[in-house]
Amino acid sequence: MMSAPGLGDIAARLSDLSRQLDKATSDADVLDRKAVTTRHAYELAYSRAFLSAEGAMDVRKHKAVRAAATEKLDAEIAEQVLRACRGRIATIKVQIETGRSLSAAMRAEVSLAGSGIMP
């Protein structure tokens, strides 16, 4: 049977989560820039392909879509990785708030126990 975490355990976990949040935030900055640059590369590749294609408008559009498919996929993957990182940041923030609430509840319980009042 596992025992309940103590205040020291909670403090250590909060410290670890804080470091994870710092790293994830830094990662998000890098991933955001990559998402922007890959989206830009896709738009340029599509534009170049569209302008160099011949035929009716719809034919030119579809030729450009095919020619820029790799760049589009790269851009979509970069955006998905960024969204996943932002999701991880949100999860870490919730975990930190949960830890803070648990810590506050434990401190209140310890304070009440010391006062002779039974919870």
Q: Report pLDDT digits (tens) over 81-107.
A: 999 999 999 999 999 999 999 888 888
Tell me the per-residue pLDDT of 13-67, one tens digit each, with 9 for 90 and over.
Answer: 999 999 999 999 999 999 999 999 999 999 999 999 999 999 999 999 999 999 9
Find the length of the chain: 119
The pLDDT of residue 100 is 92
The pair of three-digit structure tokens given for residue 91, joined into one six-digit string? 């999860």
Instruction: Say if CB 10 and CB 103 are below 8 A apart.
Output: yes
According to DSSP, residue 5 is labeled: P
Q: Is 82 exposed, middle or buried (0-12, 13-18, 19+ CB in 10 A)?
A: buried
Q: What is the pTM assigned to this prediction?
A: 0.78
From the number of C-beta atoms within 10 Å of its C-beta (0-12, 13-18, 19+), residue 92 rates as buried
Categorize the per-residue pLDDT at 114 as very low, low, confident or very high, splitting at 50, 70 and 90.
low
Closest residue by Cα to residue 63 from 48, 73, 77: 48
d(CA 91, CA 22) in angstroms, rounded, equals 13
* Average pLDDT over the chain, rounded to an integer: 91
